[in-house]
Structure 1
């Protein structure tokens, strides 16, 4: 029974990874169930066995992607003790690499264009942002306690932090130049530090 569950989990992950790549290559609207099966190297019947339909696959893909990102980011900041170190590590993970960021945001923005009419997408997206805001709030509250940040409303500040992050990444994406990736990460850090009223040490 354990082996069967493990096999099913691996097969579902295989299909989700294939779906992600298919959307990267073809766009949300251009992907069919046959495309997903072809990318996964399985029959169309296999995809129908593990998922109800194409929309079900896409909903699970969005949930899998956003959960994986959040879990990675949380693991990274938990290793750091100080707020500033947590923030820097957080941004290191958010600005993962030009390739990873480009692929994720192209897929994610495609999903966002479908959110209005899809309750499941709305729920997954809301949970993703709740998670993101939670990280921002944790960093803002810790920094305030340490006296390195001056923040009156950590909940609102956390939302603003995520706005800066998404804004910088989307701007970078529109530039389509890998060399600018580190520059945008640096600008993002400076923007957030300004938002947090970072108390810089005297040199």
Structure 2
């Protein structure tokens, strides 16, 4: 996504009014894909950055990924006798081929599609099988997320590039300066 969609998006767009370049790239790219691939279907799109008036997310991205069968959402409830007691530990999705090297940017609902009589819901692949691995995953995600180690809980076919990691580890308020340093923004486009 980063090299194939995001960086070309920055090169082709006037970045003067970009509130969040990743969000705008996602909306732009997804809109184009839906128009091209699903032109005759009614598709409702919700983005991971959209909030309800209550300031809660419009949808729970990781729960949606789990329910759709796309990635397994590992939570404290997947651990027998959690070693951290009552401490709040957030859950995280893991994909069998991508590990944790992905993001859930949008939810598409096809309004006119109905499941047939033989439809069977597909469960996500449980690729973090042992209790020890699940504990290590949740601890890495909650306590050491900046070191990226939780993403490698399973061998991944693809990982973020060094440039992509640099972008995402940079605090959001400093990303425009980074894009300027890389030559994607000029001094007049801040």
Q: Do these two structures clear the TM 0.5 threshold for a shared fold by scoring above it?
A: no
**TM-score with structure 2 setting the length:** 0.28
TM-score, normalised via structure 1 length: 0.27
| Greater length-normalized contact order (CA 8 Å, ≥ 6 residues apart) | 2
